[in-house]
Amino acid sequence: MNLKQTLEQNISLALSDLAGETACQALVNHSKSSQFGDYQANGVMALAKRLKQNPRELAEQVNAKLELDEFAERVEIAGPGFINIFISNEFLTQQLNALDKSQLVDKTNAPQTIVIDYSSPNLAKEMHVGHLRGTIIGDAISRTFEWMGHKLIRQNHFGDWGTQFGMLITHMSEQDGATTELSNLEVFYRAAKQRFDNDTEFASRARENVVKLQSGDKQCVQLWKSFIDVSIQHCQELYQKLNITLTENDVVPESFYKNKLAGVIENLDNQGLLTLSDGARCVFLDDFKNKEGEALPTIVQKSDGGYLYATTDLAGIEYRCQDLHADRVLYVVDARQGLHFQQIFAVAKLAGLTNEECSLEHLSYGTMMGQDGKPFKTRSGDTIKLIDLIEEGIERAYSQIEAKNPDLSELEKQEIAEVVGVSAIKYADLAKNRNSDYVFDWDIMLSFEGNTAPYMLYAYARISSIFRRAELDINADYKVIVDGSEEKELALKLLQFTEVVDALLVECFPNQLCLYLYELAGTFMSFYEVCPVLKSEGEIKQSRLGLCQFTALTLKQGLSLLGINTLDRM
């Protein structure tokens, strides 16, 4: 249990005691200003109102009951009835010295099985900036669950099964030496699409090939597989460049569910949930309305007998809940698919495809906009390739390093540029609340000033430099003695890491972790200005080294949860 939760529990108990009620909430939070302490409890005012008591007096009574000596230097009642808690240096000292340097947080003692669906690129299409957000947000969330001790199952829902693949197979089989063209997937896809749109005979051959593919025709399947291999390889190269944890083993494509789809329909049919509407088989739910205000169907089988996205997703829910025994299934998908997920979650629950405890969650993220504030149009050829973005980031980082630190070797400069460039791109995205739409802007995404990953990498490099210069081991034990305002602030911040990580697993907003790390780095920078480390002596020096060490470890671990590597020098 983290400090905030401990205080919440303690004060809530005291409130309940006084009120004779069971569920009183202390509402403990970080204080906005240091004059109001480190934590404040806001729950007294609401309780006083219910009990029709003077809030100030009630707060005094609560305070008299509280036993916070272990944590607090003092507790003050302020304003209409705030309880302000000033954490003691002794407590911070004791906690930091007791902290396990390899863990830094309290891991879960109730591990859950979490299935997370993210990235989801498409077969035979090059990844573009539109894929960036889901991929890096999903990856940060995955790393965090995993590190906290949950059983995390990544599923990359590769789009590999649909009518467009008939067109690709046909185009490929009719081209001499077409395999070489696979190296440029985008060109190949567009060429096939053009023929499909303009050549009716080609289009009908393509449709025939879809049927052949889906019925397992050997030649078609073989051609299709070659697409998959090339596409996956392309994605893996990008994942590696972006430091994304997804591997080929995490690919669970749409085609994985192809033999389960008929069973899903049969199941729904047996339960009497299907209605035939204009030849299509649908589930009608009263909660959803269409343009005319009538019930909106979730179409699960087309009038020609074909299956849809919704069908695959229903099969996916059943598989993840029943076979993988997920406690939570997280879908990191664009916000525009919100209604789709509401529908299939509702159908899945109605049809009993999910077990009672399984929570289905759409972790949506905002749409990417153009510079003009309007949606970034995906007209053919108009999207920015992910690989181009990454390379531009690395180039910009390189010229920064060249300017700031020209003495480094060429190899070092290149390695540093890759970390700085990639981390700047990832951080720019992760640091925003994922719900908001965001404007695609080279300068913002590749900025190295202020609230950016390089700022934190710089803080880390400075600390490394201290230990390197003094020839001290950054992993040794240094006894911390918290004393003085800068040191206290840093110590408290360090202990709050676990609070932030705990919160991240509830609602899955990585920007909360970004904000914390940014504040930690900032707090360290202030400490660094006023508290010389190597020039101090004795136990003060040991203590400051300890604070530096914990800051470095926390930054490294926190950034690693975001999928960002640290550098010893930059």
Partner RNA sequence: GCGCCUGUAGCUCAGCUGGAUAGAGUAACUGGCUUCGAACCAGUUGGUCGGGAGUUCGAAUCUCUCCAGGCGCGCCA
| Contacting residue, 46, 203, 285, 540, with RNA by CB under 7 A | 46
| Contacting residue, 32, 52, 218, 379, with RNA by CB under 7 A | 32
- Minimum gap (Å) between residue 432 Cβ and RNA: 4
Binding to RNA (CB under 7 A) within 183-222 occurs at: none
Q: Which stretch binds RNA (CB under 7 A): 128-136, 210-218, 382-390, 395-403?
A: 395-403
Residue 565 sits at the vertex; the CA angle it makes with 564 and 570, to the nearest 5 degrees, is: 120
Give, in order, the Cα–Cα distances in Å from 476 to each of 41, 151, 454, 545, 566. Answer: 38, 31, 26, 10, 19
Q: Does 10 bind RNA (CB under 7 A)?
A: no
- Minimum gap (Å) between residue 293 Cβ and RNA: 6
SS3 367: coil
Q: Which stretch binds RNA (CB under 7 A): 104-112, 226-234, 352-360, 531-539?
A: 531-539
Find tokens 């699409």 and name the residue.
193
| Closer of 152 and 452 to RNA (Cβ) | 452
The site map against RNA for 292-311 (x = CB under 7 A) is xxx-xx-x--xxx-x-xx--
Q: Does 488 bind RNA (CB under 7 A)?
A: no
Q: Which stretch binds RNA (CB under 7 A): 59-67, 90-98, 166-174, 282-290?
A: 282-290
* C-alpha–C-alpha distance, residues 5 and 185, integer Å: 51
* C-alpha–C-alpha distance, residues 88 and 70, integer Å: 8
- Minimum gap (Å) between residue 356 Cβ and RNA: 25
Q: Does 274 bind RNA (CB under 7 A)?
A: no
Residue of 330, 415, 283 lying closest to 144 (CA atoms): 330
Pair 50, 58: CB distance under 8 Å: no
In terms of DSSP H, where are the helices of 431-537? 442-445, 453-469, 485-495, 497-507, 510-530
| Contacting residue, 5, 6, 42, 236, with RNA by CB under 7 A | 42
| Closer of 239 and 528 to RNA (Cβ) | 528
| Contacting residue, 94, 359, 451, 565, with RNA by CB under 7 A | 451
| Contacting residue, 13, 19, 51, 78, with RNA by CB under 7 A | 78
In terms of DSSP H, where are the helices of 126-199? 132-147, 164-173, 178-181, 185-198
The site map against RNA for 356-375 (x = CB under 7 A) is ----------xx-x---xxx
Give, in order, the Cα–Cα distances in Å from 197 to each of 126, 511, 547. Answer: 21, 43, 65
Q: Does 72 bind RNA (CB under 7 A)?
A: no
| Closer of 177 and 538 to RNA (Cβ) | 538
Q: Does 244 bind RNA (CB under 7 A)?
A: no
| Contacting residue, 250, 254, 418, 489, with RNA by CB under 7 A | 254
* C-alpha–C-alpha distance, residues 501 and 492, integer Å: 15
| Contacting residue, 201, 323, 449, 537, with RNA by CB under 7 A | 449
Binding to RNA (CB under 7 A) within 413-432 occurs at: 416, 420, 431-432
Give, in order, the Cα–Cα distances in Å from 454 to each of 113, 122, 204, 511, 569. Answer: 34, 32, 54, 16, 12
Q: Does 5 bind RNA (CB under 7 A)?
A: no
- Minimum gap (Å) between residue 113 Cβ and RNA: 25
Binding to RNA (CB under 7 A) within 111-130 occurs at: 122
- Minimum gap (Å) between residue 526 Cβ and RNA: 4
SS3 253: coil
Chain-centroid distance of CA 276 in Å reads: 40
| Closer of 9 and 179 to RNA (Cβ) | 9
Amino acid type, 472: L
SS3 150: coil
| Contacting residue, 57, 67, 219, 338, with RNA by CB under 7 A | 338
Residue 149 Rama label (left phi>0; alpha psi -120 to 50; beta): left
Residue of 79, 69, 88, 70 lying closest to 41 (CA atoms): 79
Q: How many residues does the chain have?
A: 570
Q: Which stretch binds RNA (CB under 7 A): 130-138, 242-250, 338-346, 558-566?
A: 338-346
Binding to RNA (CB under 7 A) within 139-178 occurs at: 159, 162-163
| Contacting residue, 2, 12, 40, 423, with RNA by CB under 7 A | 40
Pair 268, 315: CB distance under 8 Å: no
What contacts 476, CB < 8 A, 6 or more positions away? none
* C-alpha–C-alpha distance, residues 378 and 369, integer Å: 11
* C-alpha–C-alpha distance, residues 11 and 75, integer Å: 12
Amino acid type, 79: G
Pair 494, 555: CB distance under 8 Å: no
Which helix (H) or strand (E) element contains residue 439?
Answer: strand 438-439
| Contacting residue, 68, 401, 480, 562, with RNA by CB under 7 A | 401
Q: Does 526 bind RNA (CB under 7 A)?
A: yes
CA Rg, the chain, in Å? 28
- Minimum gap (Å) between residue 152 Cβ and RNA: 23
Q: Which stretch binds RNA (CB under 7 A): 36-44, 181-189, 217-225, 551-559?
A: 36-44
Q: Count residues contacting RNA (CB under 7 A)?
A: 107
| Contacting residue, 173, 179, 233, 436, with RNA by CB under 7 A | 436
Pair 281, 237: CB distance under 8 Å: no
| Contacting residue, 289, 357, 378, 485, with RNA by CB under 7 A | 289
- Minimum gap (Å) between residue 513 Cβ and RNA: 11
